A and B are shown apart, each in its own frame.
Chain A
């Protein structure tokens, strides 16, 4: 990631530009507008939290940003390159090089050990960090050879984070990463996320239902019925350990 590519529209550090994005699902006579004219810019190293009621379109937005889904209209630029116009192969490449995903249900490969789950990604990336290092980053340096079934939910989620960040993605997308976890474990996971964001400078988007998580973010975005209703910047970031909920 040399600086040249980050000069987009003269704005320093612009990683992602979402411009007038709409997504609607037509089901027979009913049309559901999952996203309505969403426009957002994300910058290098930013940690943003996406809040909103169930069904407000958070996952839809994240999936489009990650190249898993296509919008009905509007455009998406990643370092100035239009992702919404990419071919299937380019999308695969985009996911492979630039995006890290973390989901609510971990989605680890059950037949691979923690280390191998991470290696799965490092094997196909260009300048990955060693898989061991990625696992150490999330505090699992001593559980390398455990299979997912032998790890707790929080540990599995941290493996998922290690897997997502091992390729040094520019964009880390997390859809309710603590959704299936209790408070203590959730904190460990958030700490891992925060640490990655701080140490590697990955732009991070976190979806959550938990308003108190917003305290650790640079920026808090509210979605409601597919529209951005609020986009606030925190004056200062709290560390996850300081969060209370």
Chain B
């Protein structure tokens, strides 16, 4: 019988119960989708790494004799060693006017000999031994350029033009995130990985019997640090750039950061949603128990036990939570799959498997039921503890105070309906405050949801127009003397040219050190400028070094400190340089010096590694074909193309996450506002009906009821803006890493958007409640006593 009562009551309260279920569903779906995405990414990565033998330790050297492979293999703790030859080359891709850049990585002639960092063949076949022009190309590059096995690509390898035949489409655990060295953004049309037979590449590069890339797998329990030190020592004479582990491997670094970020989101959003669910259940259930106090009394008088009655009221919490869990789990499974597809656009896995785990579902459902119990607890206690006799009596009358209308003069000016509203709020300040906080949280989610949008905009602005004004960057294969500028200047169509030197070093301060390259720039005010994440230009002082703030923090150094710099190449000098300043950049870790200072520090005659060019767009075509043929260039970057490619990539993921967050925030806001108004309506139906009887119109009465909600919403919006900023700060802290730091930027649009959405949501829920208000039966309400 109680079950039937529960069912009827729930049907009667279906709007409110659905609102609770919706909030639970949002929380669960975020939790479930994010946990399963995190697990799927981790598991896919793990499988990929072990299947294709991703190395543990990496090192690039200028050139080392092949027999070192044996000596390295003999180091205790090294499980296997793979040596390779790797070269960056300029490409002439059919259908692409601009030159592209390829990284050619050597692989064994025979598949069976494959060592570490194996290649997964998605389409086509492995190379055939003895065919020196056969290559496997990376999947993102081939897809971006519409290439299929059998297509040909021109490449300038070691100054000689060569036709490469693509025989297969491949993927490697080394390049899950495939970006050009020195860049953060993938441009798959203009940068790709190629795998070529070791013998053919050696001879093309004149590297017979030598290697320039070393990968190691370590046995379990080996100290990575020891191995790195031994390698550095062993290969120092061979121009080693320093050995490093997976944590500094670019692609792994990106994925690890991504997984960590997903992990952060598992906690933040679901906690907010479950918190709101607790609040909603609390107010809704307490109201139910209050209105049904006489029923409780009668039931108890009839002999139902306290437990029966308590569990009956717990049912009010369990039913919407169950409904929310079911919806949330299905929604979460679906969202997770969608998110995995988006990750699939950024990260190139051989196989990105979506694992939907029952553990995640179980955990989230458990959490939401705990939340439900928590929310229902006080109502449960109230129902259980209420002695039947007391239950028959009306709820203790509430006392009102004149409050802020104490003074006659103030009172006179304020219309009665407003006084009613304010006194009601004054009477239950805690409830009013909680309602305001809940609405503010929805506003905050809206603001924070769009915050990432603003950050991306800022990043685009800083990286693609404030920091860089060049059209093209060309990277020289070998360090060039000062005179290279005359050759470049003589090219038809070059309007401005500016050079930099990039010197691999190890910077240390105290006992902390870091592999890093120092960028020596001719000017920090020309084509390239130093701009921090707040879009402020930073001057580069002479005589010292400027580090990204995060890097300085890693080293524990402050401006004025003297840093040790160990040059890895050339004369391999150990020098000291003063930390002249820091720059709080958005991306990566950098070290900047004046070109002349760096040359002096390196103790050589000076060298240039790359050039920024501004070119005459009408002559771009001619320049591009020249670059395609030019020997001595190992990489070319097109700023605008990079921007466009990144824009396209990011747009999809941004839109998806904004839509999800916006809808969730709307559901949250709607649930809170609607429930708040419904409860006021229930608490004050009698009063409002009396007002109608006294001759107030439905409109006037609505104003009293909804005015309260409007006032609360009005207070909540600015508060929500503050919360939103706070939540964004939290996000920026949680999501920042060595690769990426989020500036605090908020566009006005962001707040306007949140404002408009909340107003719409509040209006809709207000209208829904108003419909009930209009339908209130004037006679029925007056028959009963309060």
Contact = CB atoms under 8 A, between A and B. Distances in A.
The reply to whether chain A is a binding partner of chain B is: yes
Contact of B695 (A63, A97, A109): A97
A136 interface: no
B299 to A, nearest CB: 24
A230 B686 CA distance: 34
B122 to A, nearest CB: 71
Contact of A95 (B424, B695, B785): B695
Given A112-B423, A149-B398, 20 more contacts: A59-B783, A63-B779, A69-B778, A92-B697, A95-B692, A96-B695, A96-B696, A105-B782, A105-B785, A109-B690, A110-B397, A111-B687, A112-B400, A112-B416, A116-B416, A120-B696, A123-B416, A124-B700, A145-B402, A147-B400
Nearest to B415: A123
B695 A124 contact: yes
Contacts of A175: 782
Interface residues of B, number: 31
B423 A111 contact: yes
- Which among B402, B690, B778 has the highest number of chain A CB atoms within 10 Å? B690
Nearest to A145: B402
A111 B397 CA distance: 11
Interface string A100-125: 01011101111111001001110110
Contacts of B783: 59
A116 B785 contact: no
B674 to A, nearest CB: 23
B785 to A, nearest CB: 5
B419 interface: yes
Interface string B630-662: 000000000000000000000000000000000
Contacts, number: 89
A99 interface: yes
A89 interface: yes
11 contacts: A95-B692, A96-B697, A105-B786, A107-B690, A109-B690, A110-B397, A112-B419, A116-B419, A120-B696, A145-B402, A163-B694
Given A69-B778, A105-B786, A116-B419, A110 B400 contact: yes
A114 to B, nearest CB: 12
B420 A111 contact: yes
B786 to A, nearest CB: 7
Contacts of A92: 692, 695-698
A124 B397 contact: no
A177 interface: no
A124 B417 CA distance: 11
- Which among B415, B693, B694 has the highest number of chain A CB atoms within 10 Å? B694
Given A66-B693, A92-B695, A107 B416 contact: no
B624 to A, nearest CB: 76
B701 to A, nearest CB: 10
A243 interface: no
B691 interface: yes
A68 interface: yes
Interface in B469-503: none
A153 B693 CA distance: 20
A69 B427 CA distance: 33
Given A120-B691, A163-B694, A111 B686 contact: no
Interface of B: 397-400, 402, 415-416, 419-420, 423-424, 427, 686-687, 690-698, 700, 778-779, 782-786
Contacts of B696: 92, 96, 120, 124
Contacts of A89: 697
Nearest to B694: A121
Nearest to A93: B695
Nearest to A119: B416
A124 to B, nearest CB: 7
A111 B418 CA distance: 11
B778 A112 contact: no
A109 B693 CA distance: 12
A124 B778 CA distance: 20
B782 A103 contact: yes
Contacts of B420: 109, 111-112
B697 A68 contact: no
Nearest to B401: A147
A163 B691 CA distance: 11
A111 B427 contact: yes
Contacts of B786: 105
Contacts of B700: 124
A93 B700 CA distance: 12
Contacts of B399: 147, 149-150
A96 B700 CA distance: 12
Contacts of A107: 686-687, 690, 693, 782
B432 to A, nearest CB: 13
A69 B416 CA distance: 27
A202 to B, nearest CB: 15
Given A110-B397, A145-B402, A120 B785 contact: no
- Which among A88, A97, A123, A124 has the highest number of chain B CB atoms within 10 Å? A124
A68 B695 CA distance: 10
A68 B779 contact: yes
Nearest to B406: A145
A77 B415 CA distance: 34
A163 B343 CA distance: 68
Interface string A166-210: 010000000100000000000000000000000000000000000
Nearest to B781: A107
Contacts of A97: 695
A149 B397 contact: yes
Nearest to A149: B397
CB-CB nearest 10 A-B residue pairs: A96-B695, A111-B423, A95-B695, A107-B690, A68-B778, A149-B397, A92-B697, A105-B785, A147-B400, A120-B416
Contacts of A103: 782
Nearest to B424: A111
Nearest to A164: B694
Contacts of A116: 416, 419
B779 A110 contact: no
Contacts of A99: 695
Nearest to A115: B411
